[in-house]
Amino acid sequence: MPDSTLLRPDAALLALRPAVAGQPAAIPTPATVADFQQQVLRPLLKLQNEPLLALVADFVADYRLPLAGATAEQQAHILRELLGRNARLRATITGLVRGHFAVAELAFFRQHRPELTRRLLDLATERVLSQLSMSNYQ
């Protein structure tokens, strides 16, 4: 049986993560759901920002959502609906982030899946909406 450290380079995955301003240094394994959100989800969403925005832009194009002529408030409403109701998009966003979990993080996530998935999608929605003016959704 191959060594699991060769199959899943946790140290390399952790080294990829950007620092998030105002966040304390990460501890080896987050103890609470809130710790996990701050130490794992936020940095990974920051790391995956461009792919996240591109993914949402692809869904906007695929579903031909009328963002081009909409006001900023209407655009936010349309995107909030898309991110809140489209199961395929939600699963893809979750996978975009979960693919960067270390082994211990994945085990913790699996124990707290419903709450962490909700938090992950809330953070992703916040991130997309906060960059609405900078995005290329039209």
Residue ranges covered by each domain of the chain: 31-134
Length of the chain: 138
Helix (H) or strand (E) holding 79: helix 72-85
Tokens of 126: 């916040």
Residue 111 amino acid letter: Q
- The separation between the first and the last C-alpha atoms of the chain, rounded to the nearest angstrom, is 50
pTM: 0.84
Each residue's pLDDT, cut to its tens digit, for the chain (138 residues) gives 455 545 667 778 777 887 777 665 555 678 899 999 999 999 999 999 999 999 999 999 999 999 988 999 999 999 999 999 999 999 999 999 999 999 999 999 999 999 999 999 999 999 999 998 766 655
Residue pair 89/61 in contact (Cβ under 8 Å)? The answer is no
